[in-house]
Amino acid sequence: MNNKTPNYIIKINVLNNAIETDIDDKNLSVVNIFSNKYTYDILKNDINELCCIYNDILNYEILGKSYDNRNIYLFTLGNKNAKHTLFIQASMHGREHMASILVMRHIELLCKNYYISEYKGLNISDILQNIKICIVPMSNPDGVDISINGAEVIREKTLFNNISKVIEENKIHHEIWKSNARCVDLNRNFGCKWEDSYNFNVKSFMEYRGEYPESEIESRLIANWTRENRPDICISYHATGSELYWDYGQKGLLLNKSMVIRDYLKDLTFYKLMDRSSAYKTGVLGYSDWVSMYLGIPAFTIEIGSPFVTAPLSMEEFNDIWEENKFIPIELCRYVVNKKN
């Protein structure tokens, strides 16, 4: 078109069929993977159904509520008294809600296989006696519902008016909304590199960092939980890019630990490793950067989905994303348990 040669991206998935496991991901019937409109209400229904079916190994708590009164849920899978913890959070950005489907399916997969399957020679139940998996499947429920259905889903009048104004002034479609209901980008609200100059200082559908670190309910809840529980590893799921962010300037033992875990993630996903210069291009950095640099915990941001595609992702991509990511939680748990033993 217009005498320009179009560019095409061909994504080739190389799947590791050599993993020693009898984990079965067929006939998972609770989490709906056929619609990319995974709203907060659907999440609530799935939580209730999963916890009813698997009530002996799965439970949830409510960390708090969003500005428009939606719950921030935290799942715990496995032995709730285990000394070690893997923490996973998803959908901190509204338009990246496919990440919620992914981690909810992780939960269903491990619950279904908990008593009957092995992974690399270890029973799933034995692994999860020594480490629990804690998951926040939808860190930004207001933002997710705005992205899916528009400002009309927001019930509080002032919030609705501000969101509508941002959408109108920026001439955008609500689908690309990333921020929370107060027009703050939660993944810019954790305070890492906060003192550096920053160009996005007005309320917006993306990139606005807020008035001060952890000014937002959602980011503060997750930050407080992380500080109090000190997980062994933190994973933050985002979209898009098929990229793995891991290098935030850490040194010494933390750097060595991060490199080892990075290689496990790389071997499973084949995602592109992003170096330090790539991570710092965004200015104020996100949750994983803060966890690593301020708390000294290995933390990773996994960007699912094709490169050069803007979220929300099409559900046509989900099968590939699932194959690339389905063993990440149990692999990381196995790594921690083996290392501690």
Report the distance separating Cα 195 and Cα 207, nearest Å. 16
Report the distance separating Cα 278 and Cα 177, nearest Å. 23
User: Coil, strand or helix: which one is 106?
Assistant: helix
Phi, psi of 129 (to 5 degrees): -80, -25
Residues annotated as catalytic (active site), given as ranges: 303
Helix, strand, coil percentages for the chain (3-state, nearest 5):
40, 15, 45
Q: 4 near 313, Cβ under 8 Å?
A: no
CA distances from 206 to 182, 183, 187 (A): 11, 7, 10
Paired residues of 21 in beta bridges: 119
Residue at token pair 């606005």: 208
CA dihedral sign, ordered 33, 39, 43, 46: negative
User: Coil, strand or helix: which one is 21?
Assistant: strand
User: Coil, strand or helix: which one is 11?
Assistant: coil
DSSP 8-state assignment for residue 271: P
Q: 333 near 128, Cβ under 8 Å?
A: yes
User: Strand runs (DSSP E) across the chain, as ranges?
Assistant: 58-65, 71-77, 84-90, 118-119, 122-123, 131-136, 233-239, 243-245, 272-274, 299-304
Residue type for position 105: R
